[in-house]
Amino acid sequence: MRDWPGKRVAGGINFLRGRGRRFERALEKLDRLTDFANSGDVDLVVFSGDFTAMGTRAEFATARAAIQPFVTSPAEFVCVAGNHDIYTRTVVREKRFETTFEGLLETDLPDSRVDGPWPTVRLLGDDVAVVALNSAKPNPIPWRSSGRIPSVQLEALGEILQRSDIEGRFVFVVTHYAPCLADGSPDTPTHGLENAEAFLRTCAGIERGAILCGHVHQTYRVRIPAIGPEIFCAGSATMHELEGFWMYDVDGGSIAARRGRWTGSGYEVETLEANPLPEGGAQE
Ligand SMILES: [Fe+2]
């Protein structure tokens, strides 16, 4: 209840004023997304956070039930928390995210964990690695929704990227907050990743990899000069009129990314011809 006078009242008003309606068909849309996970062609599903609006127990229970079809699908499942999931200090204290997603935050490199379950690392086959970092934190001030990757996680990421069993792989680095907007510029101090520069510096040397994020309600890809991996923001998979996601095909050291869209009754993925290679990009 101590959280209610601040963040949750503001979030609740925001929700009732329209945000909630934009997610009315979220469960139906998630159900359609499971078609991809069950297709047999998808090895890995990545959720980049914001499963809930205000991190309540009821929302977490609904979200966990909603993602169960992905968990039981043949695809591996990796997720990170969003700021809406780590909404208040109470949510953190009660470890609601970690408890709800227990069993889904497993890592193949337990010795590299430095901050609860983070970084979470998955080694897929012989050629892909996923490193998931937490950038979400409570923002008690109602008008703030910024994030930060704790420096211990960034240091751990740097060490992971140097490992001989990681170096030869295509590396997906996943976190909720976008390190930049669609035009490559920084997000605002009240909404963005506070230490985006340090994060990008840590990732700069990745020769074969991609940074996957969410938070910004726009599906985009962007490359920043001197930063090795391209950045892909999923946007929101289920938010009305902004639905989007990315489908990646990794082949050795290269990646082909196609944008997914909601058609009104299902999702479709663009052909590579409709999503041409960026200038100097790593697509093949
Ligand atoms: Fe977010």
- Do residues 128 and 250 lie in contact, with contact meaning Cβ atoms separated by under 8 Å? yes
Ligand 1 centroid distance, CA of 252 (Å): 32
Sign of the torsion formed by the C-alpha atoms of 212, 114, 170 and 250: negative
- Residue 87 has what pLDDT? 85
- How many angstroms separate the alpha carbon of residue 148 from the centre of ligand 1? 12
Q: Minimum mean pLDDT among 4-18, 40-54, 161-175, 267-281: which range?
A: 4-18
CB atoms within 10 A of CB 266: 13
C-alpha of residue 173 to centroid of ligand 1, in Å: 17
* d(CA 52, ligand 1 centre) in Å: 10
Q: Angle CA(137)–CA(2)–CA(189) in degrees, nearest 5?
A: 30
pLDDT tens readout for residues 73-118 = 999 999 999 999 998 888 999 999 999 999 999 999 999 999 999 9
The whole-angstrom separation of Cα 273 and Cα 8 is 45
According to DSSP, residue 111 is labeled G
Can you give the C-alpha Rg of the chain in angstroms? 18
Mean pLDDT throughout 241-267?
Answer: 91
Give the distance (Å) from ligand 1 centre to CA of residue 163: 31
In the chain, which ranges are continuous DSSP H helix?
Answer: 9-14, 26-37, 57-71, 89-93, 96-100, 151-162, 164-167, 196-203
pTM for this entry: 0.90
- Give the model's confidence band at 283: pLDDT under 50 very low, under 70 low, under 90 confident, else very high: very low
CA of 239 to the centre of ligand 1 (A): 12
What's residue 170's pLDDT?
Answer: 96
Task: Give the Å distance between the CA of 214 and the centre of ligand 1.
Answer: 7
Distance 22 CA to ligand 1 centre (A): 15
Which has the closest alpha carbon to 127: 249, 259, 261, 224? 249
Distance CA 78, CA 19 (A): 26
What are the domain boundaries of the chain? 4-274
- Cα–Cα dist 255/282, whole Å: 6
- The Å distance, Cα 161 to ligand 1 centre, comes to 26
Look at residue 3 and give its three-state secondary structure: coil
**4-274 carries CATH number 3.60.21.10:** yes
Q: How many Å lie between the centroid of ligand 1 and the Cα of residue 191?
A: 9
Tell me how many degrees the CA angle 128-130-131 measures, rounded to the nearest 5: 145
